[in-house]
Amino acid sequence: QVQLMQSGAEVKKPGASVNVSCKASGYTFTRFAIHWVRQAPGQRLEWMGWINTGDGNTKYSQKFQGRVTITRDTVANTAYMELNSLTFEDTAVYYCARLGPGYTNGWAYWGQGTLFTVSS
Amino acid sequence: QSALTQPASVSASPGQSITISCTGTSGDVGGYNYVSWYQQHPGKAPKLVLYDVSNRPSGVSNRFSGSKSGNTASLTISGLQAEDEAEYYCSSYTSETIPWVFGGGTKLTVL
């Protein structure tokens, strides 16, 4: 079965960087893009960016452009999201997600979420 | 970019039906049949309940249905059950610089 397993919670100071991993299993990793979505406490979901796991091409939300980098390791079947220059407003749960098979849209598979807290 | 507008809360009794609206613009909901809906229980990851406006993923109850008219998409849940109590989010593809946008979420309370 398809699974996306994310790295654990982290606490970072303002200005620091954080790297979250998302290990995929149960399917051919390079056939489906991985998206990153975050949810700040009590806030709506927010799309951050995606990576074509086949060729490594990425697209980022303009809001995070310049601060976020999404990469992948096709040997480890893992996608990574790095967010730099953290502020308190980056405190959120970060999810990786994948479309369903043959779906035009609709993230059918989600990681369990990674909470990172920005605190001084 | 503009986010999608949902009512903050809805409530109904078990067995009843509810409809949650999701209003956008011609640049997102109205322009594409790429609306999806997610159910989220506290502390859990979102779960996809509808994609491409009205399609149900395998395993999702047929009590969940979707439609779209103009710039507004709707999620209907019939025969409400206690386990339906959750936050529901809509999402749409958009022509703006952020390809996907979400609604603010609707808290469904089953009385």
Burial of B20 (0-12, 13-18, 19+ CB in 10 A): buried
| pLDDT range class, residue B2, cuts 50, 70, 90 | low
Query: Which of the pair, A71 or A65, is modelled with greater confidence?
Result: A71
Size of interface A-B (CB pairs under 8 A): 65
Is the Cβ pair B57, A107 closer than 8 Å?
Answer: no
Which stretch of DSSP H or E encloses residue B93?
Answer: strand B86-93
Q: Pick the range with the lowest mean pLDDT from A94-98, B38-42, B98-102.
A: B98-102
pLDDT over threshold 80, residue A104: no
Q: CB–CB of B20/B79 below 8 Å? A: no
Query: Mind telling me how many Å the CA of A76 is from chain B's nearest CA?
Result: 23
Q: How many CB atoms lie within 10 A of CB B26?
A: 11
Rounded to whole angstroms, how far apart are CA atoms B86 and A77? Answer: 32
pLDDT over threshold 60, residue B1: no
At B22 the pLDDT is 97
- Over residues B51-57, the mean pLDDT reads 95
Is the Cβ pair A108, B104 closer than 8 Å?
Answer: no
Rounded to whole angstroms, how far apart are CA atoms A94 and A83? Answer: 11
Distances (CA, A) of B88 to A62, A81, B7, B46, B81: 25, 26, 10, 9, 15
